Amino acid sequence: MDHHFVGIPELTGVPRVAVVIDVMRAFTVAAWAFSRGVEKLVLAATEGEALALKESHPGWLALKDGAPAAGFDAVNSPGLLRSCDFTGRTLVQKTTAGTVGALAVADAPLVLCASFVVAGPTARFLRARDVGPVTFVVTGEGGQADEDLACAEYIGHSMAGDDVDAAPYLHRARASRAAADLAGGLRSGYHPDDVDLCLEVDRFPFAMTARREQSLTVLRPVAAPDAPSGSAEAGKQPSSAGSRPNRYGSPVPPHRPGG
Q: Band the pLDDT of 162: cuts 50, 70, 90.
A: confident
pLDDT at position 176 is 98
Chain length of the chain: 259
Instruction: Enter the pTM of the model.
Output: 0.89
Residue 234 pLDDT more than 90? no
Average pLDDT, the chain: 89
Is a pLDDT exceeding 50 seen at residue 250? no
Q: Which structural domains are found in the chain, ordered by start?
A: 4-223 (3.90.1560.10)
* Spatial separation of the C-alpha atoms in residues 198 and 213, rounded to whole Å: 28
pLDDT tens-place string over residues 57-114: 999 999 999 999 999 999 999 999 999 999 999 999 999 999 999 999 999 999 999 9
- Other C-beta atoms within 10 Å of 163: how many? 13
Share of the chain above pLDDT 90, in %: 80
* C-beta separation of 36 from 82 below 8 A: yes
pLDDT range class, residue 251, cuts 50, 70, 90? very low
pLDDT digits 0-9 by tens, 111-151: 999 999 999 999 999 999 999 999 999 999 999 999 999 99
CA atoms within 13 A of residue 199's CA, in its CB half-sphere: 22
pLDDT of residue 236: 54
Dmax (CA) for the chain in angstroms is 49
Do residues 131 and 169 touch, judged by C-beta distance below 8 A? no
Q: What is the DSSP string of 62-95?
A: EEESSS--TT--EES-HHHHTT---TT-EEEEE-
What pLDDT sits at residue 235?
52
Better pLDDT: 242 or 162:
162
Tell me the one-letter amino acid at 123. A
How far apart are the C-alpha atoms of 160 and 229, rounded to whole Å? 16
**190-225 tens-digit pLDDT:** 999 999 999 999 999 999 999 999 999 999 999 999
Please check the confidence at residue 45 and state whether its pLDDT lies above 60: yes
Q: Is the peptide bond before 203 cis (omega within 30 degrees of 0)?
A: no
Task: Name the pairing type of β-strands 40-43 and 90-94.
Answer: parallel
What is the rounded CA–CA span in Å between residue 83 and residue 74?
Answer: 11
